């Protein structure tokens, strides 16, 4: 019984630490807060002067290139950046993500920056 109680408290403490930590990073993977952002976005990719189609972009990142993201937009930035730094590093792709969070004016994120 005592070990179970200790494990329960350790679990709860770890959750509190992760939730507090997640409030200070853009991705917020460990945050249990409800989705408080709705971001409309479009991913555009140009390789050697040729724009990829929406289907090619989706195949490249395994993520919808034109949708609504209910989590932080930084999650998508992270997916693109990780792909381009690994599998796509020899492609010299130029990526732009145009997005609008919660109806605010559109912004554009670029890779490479």
Q: Are residues 1 and 43 in the same domain?
A: no
Which two tokens mark 108?
């554009």
Q: Are residues 25 and 49 in the same domain?
A: no
Q: Are residues 50 and 69 in the same domain?
A: yes
pLDDT in tens, 17-47: 887 877 777 666 556 666 678 999 999 999 9
Report the C-alpha gap between 78 and 13 in whole angstroms: 28
Domain limits for position 14: 1-33
Whether residue 50 has pLDDT greater than 70: yes
If you average pLDDT over residues 80-103, what whole number do you get?
96
Q: List, in order, residues 6 or more apart from 65 with CB less than 8 Å away.
A: 42, 43, 44, 54, 57, 58
Q: Are residues 106 and 61 in the same domain?
A: yes
Q: Are residues 21 and 47 in the same domain?
A: no
Residue among 54, 78, 52 nearest 65 (CA): 54
Report the C-alpha gap between 91 and 68 in whole angstroms: 27
pLDDT of residue 66: 97
């Amino acid at each position: 019984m005592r070990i179970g109680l200790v494990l329960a408290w350790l679990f709860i403490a770890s959750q509190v630490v992760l939730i507090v930590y997640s409030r200070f990073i853009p991705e917020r993977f460990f945050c249990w807060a409800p989705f408080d952002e709705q971001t409309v976005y479009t991913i555009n990719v140009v390789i050697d002067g040729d724009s990829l189609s929406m289907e090619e972009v989706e195949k490249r990142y395994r993520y919808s290139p034109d949708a609504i993201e209910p989590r932080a937009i930084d999650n998508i930035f992270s997916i693109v950046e990780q792909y381009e730094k690994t599998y796509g590093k020899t492609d010299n792709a130029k990526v732009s993500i145009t997005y609008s969070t919660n109806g605010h004016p559109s912004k554009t994120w670029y890779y490479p920056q």
